[in-house]
Structure formats: C-alpha cells, structure tokens
Amino acid sequence: MARAAIPGRLDWRVATVVDVRTETPRARTLTLDVPDWSAHKAGQHVDVRLVAEDGYQAQRSYSIASAPEESSVALTIERIDAAEVSPYLCDVLRVGDGLEVRGPIGGYFVWDVMQAGPLFLVAGGSGIVPLMAMLRHHARASEPTRAEAPVKLLYSARSWDDVIYREELERLADSPYVDVTIALTRDAPADWRGHRRRIDRAMLEETGWPASRTPRIFVCGPTPLVESAASLLVALGHDPVHVRTERFGPTG
C-alpha cells in the first residue's frame, strides 16, 4: 500500500491567514493556520515566499511570535517601505488569504523554560518578536517552573507608539517572575519616567542579571544594537557562550 509523503519542516506549504491584528502604526501580527505544522521552539523562524503572476519570487525570514504550545503560527511584521515583502504582508494580506511558508527553522537562538535558571532578554524594535515567543512560552508554564526561570526584559523602541505588544507586556510584567524595562530613544510621553536613551552599559547592568547568576541571554534587533549590547554584556563579565544574538537586516 502506497503511503502519502509527510511534509517536512523545509517543505513549502500554503498557510491560511486566520487573524490579523494591528500592533503599532507600522507593525501587525498575522496568525496563520499551517497544514501539518510541527511544534516549534521559542526563538525559531519561518521562511515566507511570495510568487508574482509572472513567476517572480521574493523570500524573507520572519521570527515566530507565538508560544510553542499554540497550534497556530503568529508572525509580527514591521513594514519597511523600501522592502518587497513586508509592505504586502502589512498592507494587502487579509483573513482568508494564503501564502507559502516553510519551517520551523533554527536551533541556535532558541530557549525552553525547562532549562531553568535566570533569563535576560534584550530587544530593539521588532527584535522583540522571537523574545515574545519566549515570554509567552514562559507564561504558559506551571508556577514552580516559572519560578525556576525568572525573566528580565530590556526593550528599546523609538517611541511609546512603536512599542510592539505594549498591553501584553504590561500584563506579563504583573507576574512576580517577569520584569520588563522599556527604553525610549526618541519621543516619550510627558509623564514618562523610564529611560530616554539608547541601551548602554549602565542600563544593562541596572536592568539585567549579574554575571554571577550565569543567566542565559538573548539579544535581538538591528545589527548596531545587537553588536553593542553583546560586547557590553561580555565586558560586564557574562560568558560569551551564554550570550546568543540574532540580527535583523534592513529589508525585513
């Protein structure tokens, strides 16, 4: 008896958009139903491929925002005006539309709550997306497990309106096991009492775990931020082996 081929994670599959949510004026989340989806790890990504009627193809990689426990796949896309893919995903795609995806992909920039130990997440702009998958994964664990893996997040954004997942981050920060710090680099509300500058050594030292706690550290965002933060963390005594980085390119 012949057996049907089982799609692998690197096979292209047509996913269906089941929900669209606006996150900021320039970012929105697409929730996808992906056939034969295998559970991903927090921090992984998928490839997205668009094919024009004339056969021209454009392909980009996007981090998964949803927790591994969810059956659907959430991608949060920030619109880059000069790009080929993100304007279509942000401005054109609607519920019921399909697009080609493959994944989950990646094994280096991943985290599991069962690893325990402190976790320090550092994000810039849309670099919050894979780290949000980690936070959501953490939130779905049992209380004893979450207590064994306390999380600190330092998130840099241009303005309060550019903070992706703002309301959800505020809710997550109500947990005794999650600490959230937001730094605004350009515009801040008149009553803003938080940081008003780019991430620097003093900020990392103030908001993160001391090196003596040997935290796992994940840094994601634009290349300059990632390289600067990673270097500063090592200068603060953190083992480079424990500092994982992921850079977001300009074409998104």
Asked, for residue 8, whether it belongs to a domain, the answer is no
Tracing tokens 């300009």 back to the chain, one arrives at 250
Predicted local distance difference test score (pLDDT) of residue 83: 83
Q: Are residues 59 and 142 in the same domain?
A: no
The count of residues in the chain is 252
215 falls within a domain: yes
Asked whether residue 1 is domain-assigned, the answer is no
- The domain tally of the chain equals 2
Q: Which of 105, 127, 152 is the last residue of a domain?
A: 105
Residue 36 lies in a domain: yes
Please check whether residue 58 lies inside any domain of the structure. Answer: yes
Tokens of 245: 């980085």
Task: Establish if 27 belongs to a structural domain.
Answer: yes
Q: What is the CATH number of the domain that holds 183?
A: 3.40.50.80
Share above pLDDT 90 across residues of the chain, in percent, rounded to a whole number: 83
Span 34-70, pLDDT tens digits? 999 988 999 999 999 998 778 888 899 999 999 999 9
> What is the value of pTM for the model shown?
0.93
Q: What is the CA radius of gyration of the chain?
A: 18
**Do 76 and 118 sit in the same domain of this protein?**
no
Q: What is the pLDDT of residues 93-145, one digit of tens each?
A: 999 999 999 999 999 999 999 998 999 999 999 999 999 999 999 999 999 99
On whether both 86 and 194 belong to a single domain, the answer is no
Print the domain residue range for 136. Answer: 113-248
Residues 97 and 127 in one domain: no
CATH number at residue 65: 2.40.30.10
Asked if 149 and 233 sit in the same domain, the reply is: yes
Q: Which residues of 41-80 are buried (b: 16+ CB within 10 A; e: fewer)?
A: bbbbbbebebeeeeeeeeebebbbbbbbebeebbbbbbbb
Supply the pLDDT for residue 2: 36
Q: Where a domain ends, among 80, 105, 130? A: 105
Residues in Cβ contact with 242 at an 8 Å cutoff, skipping those fewer than 6 apart:
214, 215, 216, 217
Tell me, yes or no, whether 165 and 79 share the same domain. Answer: no
* Whether residue 180 is found in the same domain as residue 209: yes
Boundary (domain end) residue, out of 55, 76, 105 = 105
Q: Do residues 196 and 226 share a domain?
A: yes
79 with 154, same domain: the answer is no
87 has a pLDDT exceeding 60: yes
Which whole number is the average pLDDT over 16-24? 97
Using one digit for the tens of pLDDT, what is the confidence trace for 198-211? 999 999 999 999 99
Task: Name the band, by pLDDT with cuts 50, 70 and 90, for residue 8.
Answer: low
Mean pLDDT taken over the chain = 92
Q: Tell whether 5 is covered by a domain.
A: no
Share above pLDDT 70 across residues of the chain, in percent, rounded to a whole number: 95
Q: Is the pLDDT of residue 4 over 70?
A: no
Please check whether residues 95 and 136 belong to one and the same domain: no
Q: Give a yes or no: residue 141 inside a domain.
A: yes
- Note whether 127 and 229 are same-domain residues: yes
The dihedral built from the CA positions of residue 191, 193, 197 and 198, taken in this order, carries a sign that is: negative
In this structure, are residues 33 and 18 in contact, taking their beta carbons and an 8 Å threshold?
yes
Shared domain check, 157 and 39: no
